[in-house]
Amino acid sequence: MEFEPLSLGNDVIEFDMMGLGDIDHSVDHDDVLHDSPPTAIPTPSVSDVVGSAAIFEPYIPEGDTNLEPYEGMEFESEEASKAFYNSYARRTGFSTRVSMSRRSRRDGAIIQRSFVCAREGFRVDKHGKPGSDREGRVKRPRPETRVGCKAMLVVKIQDSGKWVVSAFVKEHNHELVPPERVHCLRSHRHVSGAAKSLIDTLQGAGIGPRGIMSALVKEYGGIKNIGFTERDCRNYMRSSRQRTLGGDTQLLLDYLKDKQAKDPAFFFAVQGDEDQCMSNVFWADPKARIDYTYFGDTVTFDTTYRSNRYRLPFAPFTGVNHHGQPVLFGCALLINESEASFLWLFKTWLIAMSGRPPLSITTEHDRVISLAITQVFPDTRHRFCKWHIFKECQEKLSYVYCEHSNFEAELHKFVNLTESVEEFESCWLSLIDKYDLREHQWLQLIYADRRQWVPVYLRDTFFAEISITQRSDSMNSYFDGYVNASTTLLLFVKQYEKALESRYEKEVKADYDTINTAPILKTPSPMEKQSAGLYTRKMFMKFQEELVETLTFLAMKVEDEEAGSIYQVSKFGESHKAYFVRFNVHEMKAFCSCQMFEFSGLLCAHILTVFRVTNVLTLPPHYILKRWTRNAKSGVILEERASDLLNKSQESLTVRYNNLRHEALKYVDEGVKTVEIYNVSMDALEEAANRVSLAKKNDGRLAIISRAGRDDGFHLGSRSNTFGDHKWGFETLSADEQDKKIQKLERQLDRAQRKCELYRASLLSVLKDIEEQKLQLSVKVENIKLGMKESSIV
């Protein structure tokens, strides 16, 4: 029997999901589930495996399903009214549940049914107490989703047997969900009878959950149309995975050329003769290049993922987004791992990323890679992945691991938990003496490289790691289930793209969780409330852990210096394990000996403890790293990040260098377009060189005047500088009087700069409000577009 494709739109799943057929009334409707979004891998065509499987058509209620409910509207059955309201909810952007029902006193039959928004009412525990009392007893409380929404539909049965709408409340007191996230809502997630039949058939053919989800995505025209997630599919079946693969080198090159022809922003490069044989290939899709502009401050490069039949090293460039999730910045397949290959790859990748090197990069412990990075990224902090070193240690010291069961635990403890360089050095010597390893050549090698992999040496550099001791998502897990030892080159790239789609869906899911669910606050601190509205969900939870931990710390001022006061911070009874925080109350700047903020971008409990005892109630703006906020990708935040970079440039030579080089490259691109523009550019560069030379002679003060001159009308080149028609009169003053005049002007300038900072903060607050309004409007526009699209279909 040939399989007939399902010609069903969104309504297929939504009508079935209200419980038409086998509804499970035991499901808790309290919260929207937050499952991992479905992923997709190539599978045999559905027609190859379905055979004679029966495909059931779900019940579709009569009438125009694009209508809005109204009082007096009639349905043939209660099930039809359920399906209609859930269909309306899906189009509108909310989830539904059954709230109340009324039964006949005569025969107990249901005569009235109420369907409400899933965010109706407020959560109560099993004892009937408010949710706030419950939170203290639950170890890991779920986020609160009920907000007292009044939206509802009430239907009653008539003497004729039909059901009629007796009440309808349209308005919601919360934001509605945009179309691309509707499938995350609970009432729109259900494994229908038709889907179950297809899953059973595919499972019988030996296809696993991801393969089945891939077939369903294709069949229903997208993940959001399936009506359930991969976790729902896994709950329904368990099986091993199977794939059908094929392809060759020329097809890979043709594929990449086709992608670039369709989208000029798609970047790819091939090292070698494209027409005869491929040496190395690199590609980066537009999203990877855009993501790098947001999250390209730290990068991981991993060549240990070998996954195809040609045994070519799979080399992804990855980073971390604002949810702490892995994000890709490009990918390469290398024919070999020579220094020349890595040099070509790093230079090519840097071109794809607009010539902007990262602040830090993490790689495996490899001499050849290290040499290439030194040449291409001379100003980037290079770190070896300690987990690769630990794995290599198991191989090099296998006999030690077998003979001494405590060795591994001690090694990890000394590497991860030492607080100072001196402590690590002492512990390392103690360890190698204890196990008689002083002469071990490999240990000597990694000890010589200790400044590039032991955390205590690296904490002054940003690596976007929230925990030093916990391993972050590896790239192996990123592509797990999409490629294996027999994957061909062409399908390797396609699988790569499908993995990206899955990761993007997870990012959308994290955005949804952050925006639509309010985190549970554990303290009355204004700082906690402030951070809950700024950070993404995961980053807030980490910050919340640090904030709550301050309740276990004591802070004692031990010294007053011109640069600020020094506090000793330690837990009660553990003064021997103290941290030292230097805090300048005038500049609102703090530095902790643990250097957590420098390493991860979140403030540690030690600094937060000092803030608590000095009555700092909210986070200073310069301690809110924008890459961790929920608006990390917004235009407003981009402006703030540029401003932050300018401010921090006075503190970091590397940042200043990268910023100037980036601006200069953009200037060069514009300056070579025509001969006339080139001549103007050369004159401007000569003038800039003269100003820089003068500024160097005057300790940089002239640079400030020159910059002001461009904006405010300062005219240099005469003994009596003018601002408009005003004469400064410096020529009539003595040297002492001129110094006093300059000091007075500098104080005025300082006050003006402080006022500018206040105005800037107020402006950014207004811009953030505008950005939020834009997001709300975009949701409404998407809902209107969806409604218009469905109306046109009907």
Answer yes or no: do 275 and 361 share one domain. yes
Contact status, residue 331 vs residue 315, Cβ threshold 8 Å? yes
Question: Has residue 83 got a pLDDT over 70?
Answer: yes
CA pair distance 576, 596, nearest whole angstrom: 20
pLDDT in tens, 335-370: 667 788 899 999 999 999 989 999 999 998 888 899
Q: Among 596, 628, 660, which residue terminates a domain?
A: 628
In Å, what is the CA distance from 370 to each residue of 78, 343, 346, 361, 441? 69, 10, 11, 11, 19
pLDDT in tens, 149-181: 999 999 999 988 899 999 999 999 998 988 877
Answer yes or no: do 480 and 339 share one domain. yes
State residue 698's pLDDT score.
67
Q: Among 603, 628, 653, which residue terminates a domain?
A: 628
Q: Of 137-151, 215-229, 351-365, 675-689, which has the strongest mean pLDDT?
A: 351-365
Q: How many domains does the chain have?
A: 5
Which tokens go with 143?
A: 């986020």
Flag whether 686 is in a domain.
no
Question: Has residue 85 got a pLDDT over 70?
Answer: yes
In Å, what is the CA distance from 612 to each residue of 291, 380, 516, 520, 756? 36, 36, 30, 21, 28
State residue 626's pLDDT score.
92
Flag whether 224 is in a domain.
yes
Flag whether 68 is in a domain.
no
Q: Determine which of 252-266, 348-362, 651-665 has the lowest per-residue pLDDT on average.
A: 651-665
Confidence label for 659 from pLDDT (cuts 50, 70 and 90): low
Contact status, residue 131 vs residue 144, Cβ threshold 8 Å? yes
- Judged by phi (left if over 0) then psi (alpha if -120 to 50, else beta), residue 700 lies in left
State residue 663's pLDDT score.
65
State residue 231's pLDDT score.
65
pLDDT in tens, 593-608: 999 999 999 999 999 9
Question: Has residue 64 got a pLDDT over 60?
Answer: no
CA pair distance 334, 499, nearest whole angstrom: 20
Question: Has residue 771 got a pLDDT over 70?
Answer: no
State residue 47's pLDDT score.
38
Flag whether 479 is in a domain.
yes
Ordered DSSP codes for 494-508 = HHHHHHHHHHHHHHH
pLDDT in tens, 610-656: 999 999 999 999 999 999 999 888 754 333 443 443 344 333 444 45
- Mean pLDDT across the chain: 75
Which tokens go with 549?
A: 């931990």
Answer yes or no: do 444 and 400 share one domain. yes
More confident residue, 55 or 450: 450
Q: What is the CA radius of gyration of the chain?
A: 32
State residue 48's pLDDT score.
39
Residue bearing tokens 């607080």: 419
State residue 45's pLDDT score.
40
Q: Among 215, 243, 271, which residue terminates a domain?
A: 243
Eight-state DSSP code of residue 2: P
Answer yes or no: do 310 and 289 share one domain. yes
More confident residue, 64 or 285: 285
Q: Could you list the residue range(s) of the whole structural domain that residue 228 is in?
A: 193-243
Answer yes or no: do 523 and 449 share one domain. no
Phi, psi of 629, deg, nearest 5 = -90, 165
pLDDT in tens, 377-403: 999 999 999 988 998 898 889 889 999
Eight-state DSSP code of residue 410: H
Q: Quick one: average pLDDT of 768-777?
A: 70
Q: Alpha carbon 27 to chain centroid distance? A: 31
Answer yes or no: do 302 and 416 share one domain. no
Q: Quick one: average pLDDT of 43-61?
A: 35
State residue 57's pLDDT score.
34
Contact status, residue 32 vs residue 184, Cβ threshold 8 Å? yes
**Is residue 126 packed enough to be buried (19+ CB in 10 Å), middle (13-18) or exposed (0-12)?**
exposed
Confidence label for 422 from pLDDT (cuts 50, 70 and 90): very high
Measure the CA angle with vertex 477, ends 471 and 483; round to 5°.
Answer: 155
Q: Alpha carbon 381 to chain centroid distance? A: 22
Share of the chain above pLDDT 70, in %: 67
Which tokens go with 431?
A: 């360890």
Q: Determine which of 110-119, 249-258, 776-785 has the lowest per-residue pLDDT on average.
A: 776-785
Answer yes or no: do 366 and 300 share one domain. yes
State residue 655's pLDDT score.
46
CA pair distance 207, 122, nearest whole angstrom: 42
Answer yes or no: do 272 and 291 share one domain. yes
- The SS3 call for residue 361 is strand
Which tokens go with 724?
A: 């408009």
In Å, what is the CA distance from 785 to each residue of 92, 226, 792? 11, 21, 10
Confidence label for 475 from pLDDT (cuts 50, 70 and 90): very low
State residue 14's pLDDT score.
28
Which tokens go with 194?
A: 């038709």
Report the chain's terminal Cα–Cα distance, integer Å.
31
Question: Has residue 233 got a pLDDT over 90?
Answer: no
Eight-state DSSP code of residue 518: B
Confidence label for 489 from pLDDT (cuts 50, 70 and 90): low
Question: Has residue 375 got a pLDDT over 80?
Answer: yes
Contact status, residue 488 vs residue 247, Cβ threshold 8 Å? yes
Look up residue 214 and give its amino acid.
Answer: S
Contact status, residue 153 vs residue 167, Cβ threshold 8 Å? yes
Residue 52: CB atoms within 10 A of its CB come to 8
Q: Which residues contact 315 (CB under 8 A, 6 or more apart)?
A: 301, 302, 303, 305, 331, 332, 333, 334, 345
More confident residue, 218 or 704: 218
Flag whether 53 is in a domain.
no
CA pair distance 213, 43, nearest whole angstrom: 9
Answer yes or no: do 292 and 422 share one domain. no
More confident residue, 72 or 466: 72
State residue 725's pLDDT score.
39
CA pair distance 742, 395, nearest whole angstrom: 67
Question: Has residue 22 got a pLDDT over 90?
Answer: no
Q: Of 198-212, 309-323, 698-712, which has the strongest mean pLDDT?
A: 309-323
More confident residue, 570 or 104: 570
Confidence label for 714 from pLDDT (cuts 50, 70 and 90): very low
Q: Of 134-143, 371-380, 764-773, which has the strongest mean pLDDT?
A: 371-380
CA pair distance 721, 706, nearest whole angstrom: 12
State residue 149's pLDDT score.
93
Flag whether 14 is in a domain.
no
Residue 239: CB atoms within 10 A of its CB come to 17
Q: Determine which of 57-66, 351-360, 494-503 has the lowest per-residue pLDDT on average.
A: 57-66
More confident residue, 206 or 534: 534
Answer yes or no: do 91 and 204 share one domain. no
* Nearest one of 188, 223, 225, 195 to 18, comparing CA atoms: 188
CA pair distance 576, 189, nearest whole angstrom: 54
Measure the CA angle with vertex 161, ends 155 and 162; round to 5°.
Answer: 45
Contact status, residue 584 vs residue 409, Cβ threshold 8 Å? no
CA pair distance 393, 517, nearest whole angstrom: 44
Flag whether 64 is in a domain.
no
Question: Has residue 60 got a pLDDT over 50?
Answer: no
Answer yes or no: do 377 and 451 share one domain. no
Question: Has residue 433 got a pLDDT over 80?
Answer: yes
Answer yes or no: do 285 and 316 share one domain. yes
State residue 469's pLDDT score.
56
Eight-state DSSP code of residue 521: P
Q: Quick one: average pLDDT of 744-748?
A: 80
Flag whether 257 is in a domain.
no
Q: Which CATH number do you get for residue 283?
A: 3.30.420
Confidence label for 292 from pLDDT (cuts 50, 70 and 90): very high
Question: Has residue 699 got a pLDDT over 70?
Answer: no
Q: Determine which of 170-179, 223-232, 701-710 has the lowest per-residue pLDDT on average.
A: 701-710
Question: Has residue 317 got a pLDDT over 60?
Answer: yes
